[in-house]
Amino acid sequence: MAMSAGSRARDPELERRLRALPSVEEVAAQLRRLCTTEHAPAVTAARQAVDARRAELVEGAPPATSSKGDTDQHAAERDLVVRAAAGRADAAARPSLRRVINATGVIVHTNLGRSPLARAAIEQALAAAEGYSNLEYDLEDGRRGSRQAHVEDLLRELTGAEDALVVNNCAAAALLACAALAAGREVVVSRGQLVEIGGSFRVPEVIQQSGARLREVGTTNRTRLADYERALGPDTGAIMRAHPSNFRTVGFVEEVEIDDLAALGARIGVPVIDDAGSGALADGIPEMADEPPVRRSVRAGCAVTCFSGDKLLGGPQAGLMVGTSDAIERCRTHPLARAVRIDKLSLAALEATLRLYRDPAAARREVPVLAMLTATEPALAARAERMRARLAEAGLEPTVIHATGRAGGGALPLVDLEGPVCAVEPGPGGLDRLTARLRTGDPPVIARAREGRLLLDPRTLQSDAEADAAADAVATASGGHPSRIPRP
């Protein structure tokens, strides 16, 4: 019969085992001697390890045994606890936020940091981080400047808008636009666009937080221009189109095009706010055909068009706002603008990313998101075969099959990104054990599963070296030996 915690605490054998535990000071001293751990982290790791081992013994764990064959119970427990404390100290010394290898085939992976940055964006952010910068200093006039000046002209040039403003994300951009243009009045939105996206971000709640009132029109699947016309009146502050992100209605549906919506707003003097979502700024990419183009909204005459920097644009987290001079100025001077302003590192990376868009061919080649979306079948097949050969060299039996990747990040939910992937049988340990080992490796490798096999998708592996690292991690986690094939 199992004993309660209280009866265990009075058990003589348990008391003897607990007395054999080393002290926190003893374990910390061993850590400092063996691992050169500093005093404070050594004490923390030692205390955690001793407490964890005490809890194990109370719950009925067997006593530690010495690998050296001695009978000193204290020495055996001390060695066990010191090893556990060393692992805790090592884990605590590693950064919590670190790079992972994305082998999932999901390009804009929200859980993995969304879009990887172009090399030019990384270098410009690093330059801004290494010392002081002219973030808000005009080098020509020698006076205070605006951080917006670093990207305003680029956004005007790339979108054709009269003015531009950048904040810390697209949700903040939509909130600021509603607050600046429609606080205390109604914002008219189609019922089919009252969606919730990741992190419980709901369009109705954003409008409420802005100080405006929501006015719903149409139905979930069908909204016509006449629905908007009937809702507009003296209390209307703005019309809003909200990008449905990863939600779509198909079949018996109808919606008003942004050109017609903007024309209606212009006719009666009501500003139109377009939350265009993912930042489709690149032209001529078939995979992005379903996303609302930013330039189209600007040409239509929307007062403010909001879009993300870290989705299909392929830059850092940012909320980009482009539109008419009057509307953007109202957003710029609103008190909320300072609360949601962009930081200097994101601004540096964004400027570099936007500069790449001046040359469409360079953007497709150097912005990772665009390169992944447009990756060719031969290029993907070559990288999948590279991983297969490397894993076969390591003693496993992988195969190359076809599977479907995704754009991710709420973008292009109906687009299947077909392509070759490397499939690996998980072995006797099972798929859960294999994926857990990959997640806790260095670097962590995140893959996906299908029909009991582990899939390594080359679409989101940015180089042959990264593909080699993913294959080697799988070989090690499977209990095999990493390939002897040299990396490039």
Distance CA 466, CA 487 (A): 9
- Report d(CA 445, CA 92) in Å as an integer: 20
Q: Does domain 101-109+372-477 have CATH number 3.90.1150.180?
A: yes
CA distance linking residue 12 with residue 194, whole number of Å: 65
Give the other-Cβ count within 10 Å of 303's Cβ: 24
CATH topology of domain 119-366: Aspartate Aminotransferase; domain 2 (3.40.640)
**Measured between alpha carbons, how far is residue 322 from residues 27, 176, 193, 207, 257 in Å?**
60, 13, 21, 19, 19
- Per-residue confidence in pLDDT tens, the chain, 488 aa: 344 545 444 688 888 889 899 999 999 998 888 877 788 888 999 999 999 999 999 998 888 886 665 568 888 999 999 999 998 988 888 888 999 999 999 999 999 999 999 999 999 999 999 999 999 999 999 999 999 999 999 999 999 999 999 999 999 999 999 999 999 999 999 999 888 876 667 889 999 999 999 999 999 899 999 999 999 999 999 999 998 776 777 888 899 999 999 999 999 999 999 999 887 888 888 888 878 899 999 999 999 999 999 999 999 999 999 999 999 999 999 999 999 999 999 999 999 999 999 999 999 999 999 999 999 999 999 999 999 999 999 999 999 999 999 988 877 777 889 999 999 999 888 999 999 999 988 899 999 998 899 999 999 999 999 999 999 999 999 876 666 666 66
Q: Which two tokens stand for residue 32?
A: 């400092």
**233, HSE (Cβ side, Cα atoms, 13 Å):** 6
> Can you give the residue ranges of every domain in the chain?
5-93, 101-109+372-477, 119-366
Please give the helix or strand (H or E) that residue 369 lies within, else none.
Answer: helix 368-373
User: What sign for the dihedral angle of Cα 427, 429, 434, 435?
Assistant: positive
How do beta strands 137-138 and 143-144 pair? antiparallel
Q: CA-to-CA distance for 308 and 170, rounded, in angstroms?
A: 5
Give the side-chain half-sphere CA count within 13 A for 396: 30
Question: Amino acid letter at 430?
Answer: G
